[in-house]
Amino acid sequence: MQLLKETLERIRAGETSFEPASASEKDVEDFQKVANRLLEAKNKGLLHDVKVMKDSSSGKLYFQLAFVRGGLTFQGEKFLEEQPSITSQKIENGVTLDIFISHSTADSDVAKSFIALLRAALPIDPTRIRCTSVEGFRLPAGSSFNDQLRSEVFESIVLIALLSPASLNSVYTLFELGARWGAQKYLAPILIRGTEAGALGQPLASLNAIASSSEPDVSQLLVKVAELLKIQAFPYHSYASSLRSFCDSGMKHEW
């Protein structure tokens, strides 16, 4: 069931073409499971259509390519909504948050692009991401702003800090980062808008900050986040365009 859900999540994120990660026997064998889940989804009415291509290898007939047409059906969307999150583990005190994105509201466009990258790269429930300036990821209506922020900054599994001139001058952002650093939990700084590592004061200066313009570094960060959340990242080709978009957005300056 989990593989079926992961595959449907990839389709909802925009992926339409599926193939083995490489020509190795293991990757080809693993792909057979994905192809079968796609056919299962079509038969259950979760997908509009899927076309598969088979080829012989070592005397055996294997799926080599699958192409999804039309995306998820209404039943498919409903199926995903009804399934428990892949990352359904509870955090202490009842907090169920995987990723907290600390940033300035002036950088909401970069934050939105980063969320799009996360969803393209990882099978993560959007309700487990907090980003206060992006629609769909804000605090719930009626919540105590300061109390909930304080709780989520401490208890989220991963905190990503988008650091720009605006965020480094934001009282709220500096509060979030100081609280997280004091909690001694995972904190990943990403430098955006041309911010240099030398602009960071202590204690942030002691952390390894990566530049948003570096696709290899951001990709490596996604692998680390998947490891911390105990989930499997999607293949690189499924999020490569979202990665480039985020790296480009992070280099844009606000004048």
Determine the average pLDDT of the residues in 42-65. 85
In terms of C-beta density within 10 A (0-12 exposed, 13-18 middle, 19 or more buried), how is residue 189 classed? buried
Statement to judge: residues 208 and 243 lie in one domain: yes
For residues 238 and 255, what is the distance between their CA atoms, to the nearest angstrom? 33
Statement to judge: residues 146 and 243 lie in one domain: yes
Tokens 């570096």 belong to which residue?
214
Whether the CB-CB separation of 113 and 245 falls below 8 Å is answered with yes
Statement to judge: residues 11 and 124 lie in one domain: no
Domain count, the chain: 2
Statement to judge: residues 71 and 97 lie in one domain: no
- Domain boundary pick from 82, 115, 144: 82
Statement to judge: residues 101 and 214 lie in one domain: yes
Please indicate whether residue 61 or residue 94 has the higher confidence score (pLDDT).
61
Instruction: Using a cut of 0.75, tell me whether the model's pTM lies above it.
Output: no
Tell me if residue 53 falls in helix, strand or coil: strand
Statement to judge: residues 77 and 187 lie in one domain: no
Statement to judge: residues 149 and 241 lie in one domain: yes
For residues 97 and 5, what is the distance between their CA atoms, to the nearest angstrom? 20
| Residue ranges making up the domain that contains 17 | 2-82
Statement to judge: residues 134 and 48 lie in one domain: no
Any domain includes 87: no
Percent of the chain whose predicted confidence (pLDDT) is above 70: 89
Statement to judge: residues 128 and 239 lie in one domain: yes
- The sheet with strand 187-191 has its strands ordered as 129-130, 99-102, 158-163, 187-191, 210-211
Please indicate whether residue 148 or residue 5 has the higher confidence score (pLDDT).
5
CATH assignment at residue 176 = 3.40.50.10140
For residues 252 and 148, what is the distance between their CA atoms, to the nearest angstrom? 31
Average pLDDT, the chain: 84
65 closest CA partner among 109, 35, 29, 41: 35
For residues 154 and 68, what is the distance between their CA atoms, to the nearest angstrom? 41
Any domain includes 176: yes
Please tell me the predicted confidence (pLDDT) of residue 136: 83
Statement to judge: residues 62 and 112 lie in one domain: no
Confidence check: pLDDT of 86 > 50: no
Please tell me the predicted confidence (pLDDT) of residue 92: 41
Q: Which two tokens mark 126?
A: 């959007």
Please indicate whether residue 52 or residue 203 has the higher confidence score (pLDDT).
52
38 closest CA partner among 7, 12, 74: 7
Statement to judge: residues 28 and 130 lie in one domain: no
Confidence check: pLDDT of 152 > 80: yes
Statement to judge: residues 74 and 147 lie in one domain: no
Please tell me the predicted confidence (pLDDT) of residue 99: 94
